């Protein structure tokens, strides 16, 4: 794949995320998506076989990124509390930068092809397990199911940003970080 093709694919994915977040997957035609990218609707098929393939790549790739970066942050952390802080920082950053992807996943999940849905679920389970593993190191005796529930609760708080980010970004970042860490029993330091 050439750099130009990769760049066009990235542009299509970013534009589609914004349009799908605003109008829903079914509210955006291929022609409208193409026009928003500065190409014809049929030219999109040069980059993706279908609109569903765009949605699938969008949600699978962001799930892969969340997991990969989450693992990197844990590996680089000095200890379990540092790892939880790093995970929260990463997820807050993602939520503030990529709000449209949160909306798309929440609203258009059912439009995702079955194979992609299963891939996203598997990646998300692995991501939750990264968080749960670090939470169990921070809180000895914490049961795995409770650690996973804590991770999901923190995600819910952080992922509310498309609807609740009413403060300027630096203030929202601090608030989300403090609240998420507090809910997980870890000081900000």
Q: What is the pLDDT of residue 99?
A: 92
Query: What is the domain class of 52-184 according to CATH?
Result: mainly alpha
Percent of the chain residues past pLDDT 90, beyond the cut: 84
Minimal CA–CA distance to 100: which of 20, 10, 7? 20
Q: What is the pLDDT of residue 1?
A: 55
pTM (2 decimals)? 0.91
Within 10 angstroms of residue 139's Cβ, the number of other Cβ atoms is 17
Long-range CB contacts for residues 110-114, cutoff 8 Å, separation at least 24: 111/25, 111/26, 111/52, 111/55, 112/52, 112/55, 112/56, 112/59, 113/52, 113/53, 113/56
Q: What is the pLDDT of residue 5?
A: 55
3 confidence band (pLDDT: 50, 70, 90): low
Minimal CA–CA distance to 19: which of 105, 100, 98? 100
Is residue 163 over pLDDT 90?
Answer: no
165 confidence band (pLDDT: 50, 70, 90): low
Tens digits of residue pLDDT in 58-94: 999 999 999 999 999 999 999 999 999 999 999 999 9
List CB contacts of 45: < 8 A, sequence separation 6 or more.
Answer: none
Instruction: Please answer whether residues 21 and 104 qualify as being in contact, where contact means their C-beta atoms are separated by less than 8 angstroms.
Output: yes
6 confidence band (pLDDT: 50, 70, 90): low
Minimal CA–CA distance to 102: which of 21, 157, 14? 21
């Amino acid at each position: 794949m050439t750099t130009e093709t990769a760049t066009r694919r990235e542009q299509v994915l970013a534009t589609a995320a914004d349009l799908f977040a605003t109008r829903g997957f079914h509210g955006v035609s291929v022609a409208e998506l193409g026009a928003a990218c500065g190409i014809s609707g049929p030219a999109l098929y040069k980059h993706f076989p279908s609109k569903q393939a765009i949605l699938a790549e969008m949600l699978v790739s962001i799930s892969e990124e969340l997991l990969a970066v989450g693992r990197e942050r844990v590996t680089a952390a000095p200890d379990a509390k540092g790892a939880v802080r790093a995970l929260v920082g990463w997820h807050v950053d993602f939520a503030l930068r990529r709000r449209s992807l949160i909306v798309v996943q929440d609203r258009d999940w059912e439009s995702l092809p079955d194979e992609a849905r299963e891939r996203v679920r598997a990646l998300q389970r692995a991501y939750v397990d990264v968080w749960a593993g670090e939470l169990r190191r921070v809180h000895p005796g914490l049961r795995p199911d409770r650690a996973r529930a804590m991770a999901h609760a923190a995600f819910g708080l952080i992922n509310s940003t498309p609807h609740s980010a009413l403060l300027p970004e630096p203030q929202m970042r601090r608030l989300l970080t403090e609240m998420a860490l507090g809910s997980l029993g870890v000081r900000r330091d």
